A and B are shown apart, each in its own frame.
Chain A
Amino acid sequence: MLIKAKKTSDIASSEITPKSVYHSRRQFLSAAAIAGAGAAFGTIAPALAAPARGLKLADVKETKWTQEPLGEKLTKYGPVTKYNNFYEFGTGKTDPAENSTKFKPRPWSLAVEGAVEKPGVYDLEDFLKPHQLEERIYRFRCVEAWSMVIPWVGIPLADIIKGLNPTGNAKYVAFETLHDPRRMPGQRRRVLQWPYREGLRMDEAMNPLTLMVVGLYGEVLPNQNGAPIRLMVPWKYGFKSIKSIVKMTFQSEQPPTSWNMSAAREYGFISNVNPAVNHPRWSQAKERRIGDFLKRPTKMFNGYEEEVAHMYAGMDMRKNY
């Protein structure tokens, strides 16, 4: 697997049209030609800068996770992209969609630091290039007791980590969100200590379920959902799945995480979905699936017991909430 650290002499890949955008651009152009809408050309540049609905990702592989989970319907695109917790763009549920329209997720670089053989600052396109995109439908359970079912597009984090060659000291991976109050207006207020921080144990990061997400519904990830790249750990509460990642650090100690720093009694490092351990301020036994009227029972590990339970065997889940 070839992963290149960025040298200053390299041609910035922002000058090379990424394959995914190239494909979608062709689609866009042909659509525009068919419509005979010459005037529409004026809209191409902004459409590429801030991908709008309709920019399909190319070469997305189907996997066993592509099928909808048994008996569960996908949450519609509208609610998935208009009901978000992304405090970097405001604390209201519709704030992220409203306040992120000007956010430009390209060019984007991602720093890899710490206990790896291939540290460096990677351009996102270079970082993703060696990997195959996959579609995976996962249940998503927010700590606030609502949930969705979302078709993500991404790359297993394990594939990415293997390419970086972590050393024996890598026991945890720490993630950081972009910290730039000019681009993320929610950061002008100290709702949390910015930048947003999250982390996983190495075995959790290497679990086949853990995904680095770049899209949803087959399309480029909308800004409000954490563009251009976010984590998805479907058996943990949503806040673990950090958005708009700019840094990954491999380290031997457990990293501090934002919600734990804000309220340690309420949000632990592990934060597995667990109907038996309640949040101090509300019950976690049930959840409201967005679109449903009645709540449904929450499943242990959000229904991914088979895939992940072995990692927590013998662990006291009341202490390690």
Chain B
Amino acid sequence: MTRAEAIRKIAKPLVFVACLGPFAWITWAAVSSGFGPTGPLGANPIEYINRYLGDWTIRFLLGALAITPVRHLTGWSGIMLFRRMIGLFAFFCGCLHLSSYIGLDQFFDWREIWRDITKRNYITVGMATFALLIPLAATSTKAMVKRLGGRRWTRLHKLVYPAGILACLHFYMMRKGIQLEPIIYAAICAVLLGYRVAKGWRKKAQ
């Protein structure tokens, strides 16, 4: 078995199962608490679920953004085999986050949801983030890469950069006062994108 095969056949399924962990936990917790106020999700389970899914969306998104810098810095190109999977987990989690907002938090009150999207800036930003992720998920298959051609595909997938920025902004705007957590995520995002900018400059200079 070559190294690439080992990654494909062993490491990838393991990482896949690990990535399912957060979803397994929240599903178990939601079912066992029955959305009551005294279970493992605390007094306000719907708020908890929604925020938990939002947190994990940003984590997967930043995880996907970290793959390329890690490859450059460590020289380990095998890590690229995980990029699509992590990115799709970010999209999947974002779908669940959006669904929990629509189905649990607003309970399909479409008028209220529309008002939120148009009037509440942090929700507008959240929706924009999600919209940016849709074409990326849709063009994630090998067939789509071929159809678009490598160059166009790469250009399209640069949308993940504004998506990362908007996701962090969405989180920061949602919290009250100046809170540490959104600032930490924003700082990580800044480092990951800043790395790319710095690399681009260096290339130009050469």
The interface of chain A, by Cβ under 8 A from chain B, is 75-76, 78-79, 82-83, 87, 91, 93-94, 144, 146, 189-192, 259, 262-263, 278, 280-283, 285-286, 288, 290-291, 293-295
- Indicate which residue in A281, A283, A290 contacts B37 across the interface (CB closer than 8 Å): A290
Distance A281 CA – B123 CA, assembled complex (angstroms): 8
- B149 CB to nearest A CB, Å: 42
In the complex, B89 has a CB within 8 A of chain A: no
**14 A-B contacts, Cβ less than 8 Å apart?**
A79-B38, A79-B43, A82-B42, A83-B44, A91-B177, A93-B43, A146-B44, A191-B177, A191-B179, A262-B176, A282-B120, A286-B112, A290-B37, A290-B44
- B46 CB to nearest A CB, Å: 7
A291 touches B177 (CB 8 A): no
Distance A282 CA – B50 CA, assembled complex (angstroms): 15
- Total interface residues on B, CB under 8 Å, equals 25
In the complex, B121 has a CB within 8 A of chain A: yes
Given known A-B contacts A281-B122, A282-B116, A295-B107, A288 and B46 have beta carbons under 8 A apart: yes
Distance A295 CA – B122 CA, assembled complex (angstroms): 21
User: Can you name 8 extra interface pairs (CB under 8 A) apart from A91-B175, A262-B177, A290-B43?
Assistant: A83-B37, A91-B179, A191-B178, A192-B177, A262-B176, A281-B173, A282-B120, A283-B116
Closest partner residue, chain B, to A262 (CB atom): B177
- A-B contacts counted at CB < 8 A amount to 68
B180 touches A283 (CB 8 A): no
Distance A146 CA – B48 CA, assembled complex (angstroms): 13
B112 touches A283 (CB 8 A): yes
Q: Which of B163-206 contact A (CB under 8 A)?
A: 173-180
In the complex, B36 has a CB within 8 A of chain A: yes
In the complex, B35 has a CB within 8 A of chain A: yes
Distance A91 CA – B47 CA, assembled complex (angstroms): 15
Distance A269 CA – B42 CA, assembled complex (angstroms): 31
B177 touches A83 (CB 8 A): no
Which A residues touch B8, using CB under 8 A?
none
B44 touches A93 (CB 8 A): yes
Distance A262 CA – B107 CA, assembled complex (angstroms): 31
Can you list the 3 inter-chain pairs with the closest CB atoms, starting with the nearest? A83-B43, A79-B43, A191-B177
In the complex, B71 has a CB within 8 A of chain A: no
A285 touches B112 (CB 8 A): yes
A280 touches B44 (CB 8 A): no
Chain A interface mostly:
loop
Closest partner residue, chain A, to B120 (CB atom): A281
Which A residues touch B46, using CB under 8 A?
288, 293
- A286 CB to nearest B CB, Å: 8
Distance A87 CA – B42 CA, assembled complex (angstroms): 18
- B187 CB to nearest A CB, Å: 15
- A25 CB to nearest B CB, Å: 30
A83 touches B42 (CB 8 A): yes
Distance A311 CA – B120 CA, assembled complex (angstroms): 31
B44 touches A82 (CB 8 A): no
Given known A-B contacts A94-B42, A190-B178, A294-B107, A280 and B47 have beta carbons under 8 A apart: no
Given known A-B contacts A76-B37, A91-B179, A82 and B120 have beta carbons under 8 A apart: no
- B206 CB to nearest A CB, Å: 43
Distance A75 CA – B46 CA, assembled complex (angstroms): 17
Distance A293 CA – B35 CA, assembled complex (angstroms): 7
In the complex, B115 has a CB within 8 A of chain A: yes
Which A residues touch B47, using CB under 8 A?
146, 288
Distance A93 CA – B176 CA, assembled complex (angstroms): 13
Which A residues touch B179, using CB under 8 A?
91, 191
Which B residues touch A189, using CB under 8 A?
180
Which B residues touch A83, using CB under 8 A?
37, 42-44
Q: What string of 1s and 0s marks CB contacts (under 8 Å) between B116-130 and chain A?
A: 100111100000000
Which A residues touch B119, using CB under 8 A?
278
B177 touches A280 (CB 8 A): no
Which B residues touch A278, using CB under 8 A?
119
Which B residues touch A281, using CB under 8 A?
120-122, 173-174
Which A residues touch B35, using CB under 8 A?
293
Given known A-B contacts A283-B112, A283-B115, A87 and B44 have beta carbons under 8 A apart: no
Distance A33 CA – B119 CA, assembled complex (angstroms): 62
Which B residues touch A94, using CB under 8 A?
42
Distance A83 CA – B115 CA, assembled complex (angstroms): 28
B37 touches A78 (CB 8 A): yes
Distance A255 CA – B121 CA, assembled complex (angstroms): 30
Distance A190 CA – B177 CA, assembled complex (angstroms): 9
Which B residues touch A290, using CB under 8 A?
37, 43-44
B120 touches A291 (CB 8 A): no
Which of B46, B173, B174, B180 has its CB near the most chain A CB atoms (within 10 A)? B46
Which B residues touch A75, using CB under 8 A?
37
